[in-house]
Amino acid sequence: MIASLTGRLAFKSPTSLVLDVQGVGYEVFIPLSTYYGLPNLSETASLSVHTHVREDAIQLFGFLTLQEKDAFVLLTSVSGVGPKLALSVLSALPVSDLVAAIQSDNVEKLTTVPGIGNKSASRLVLELKDKVGKLQPGLAPVSEALEQGPDATFDDALSALVNLGYRPQDAKDALKLVKQSHPDSILLKDMIRESLKELARG
């Protein structure tokens, strides 16, 4: 099993990246929290990796911190929570917020994640309440990379939200509201976070 990878960042998007390790390109699926902290293309990146083996495929899921990887593994241990849904949870909620929501039985907070309904949220609380304490959330350094331009930022944010499970039109409406309230330039990660807040309000 692949547990970690270090190589040249050949491609990155809000949901996946390609890491060139000595001439071999590894496709790795990532949460938004990891995407925010990635270096520029062609620079070196190191990821903690979880290898997910299915009958028809082997998929790699990567994280900038071991804490995120541990949270991912815990989430996928819950019945009905697959890797894609676990990434959605980590994309919508920082590990510290996830731990706080589970420990305080905050089902409402968990249901703000696309794909997580009341039943799934209650199951997360029930099965993980005694386990999440070991994650010991802390702040990881995140690079403040400049956006590529207004249109590129909007498109990347839209792609990220749609991949999280939001309807394209709902995501566009939320992004437009965020752009209106931030007429000056805004970083991609801030645009996504503010849009997630708008979507959570309904």
pLDDT in tens, 155-178: 788 888 887 778 888 888 888 888
pLDDT at 143 over 70: no
The CA distance from 64 to 35, in Å, is 9
Same domain, 83 and 44: no
| CB of 116 closer than 8 Å to CB of 89 | yes
User: Looking at residue 139, what is its pLDDT?
Assistant: 37
One-letter identity of residue 193: R
Q: Which two tokens stand for residue 189?
A: 């990660």
* 52-68: b (≥16 Cβ within 10 Å) or e: beeeeeeebbbbbbebb
Looking at per-residue pLDDT, the higher value among 144 and 39 belongs to 39
189-199 average pLDDT score = 84
pLDDT at 141 over 70: no
Question: What is the pTM (predicted TM-score) of this model?
Answer: 0.69
**Confidence class for position 136, pLDDT limits 50, 70, 90:** low
Same domain, 98 and 156: no
The CATH number covering residue 160 comes to: 1.10.8
Of 36, 143, 157, 33, nearest to 96 by C-alpha is: 33
- β-strand pairing of 24-29 with 44-53: unpaired
**Confidence class for position 151, pLDDT limits 50, 70, 90:** low
Tell me, yes or no, whether 82 lies in a domain.
Answer: yes
| CB of 188 closer than 8 Å to CB of 151 | no
The CA distance from 102 to 168, in Å, is 29
Same domain, 113 and 166: no
Residue at which a domain ends, from 63, 85, 104:
63
Same domain, 154 and 181: yes
Q: Over the stretch 47-94, which tens digit does the pLDDT of each residue have?
A: 999 999 888 888 999 999 888 999 999 999 998 899 999 999 999 888
Tell me, yes or no, whether 141 lies in a domain.
Answer: no
Percent of the chain with pLDDT over 70: 92
| CB of 114 closer than 8 Å to CB of 196 | no
| CB of 31 closer than 8 Å to CB of 91 | yes
Tell me, yes or no, whether 116 lies in a domain.
Answer: yes
Same domain, 55 and 71: no
Residue at which a domain ends, from 41, 63, 85:
63
Which structural domain range is residue 195 located in? Answer: 150-201
State how many domains the chain has.
3
Mean of per-residue pLDDT scores for the chain: 85
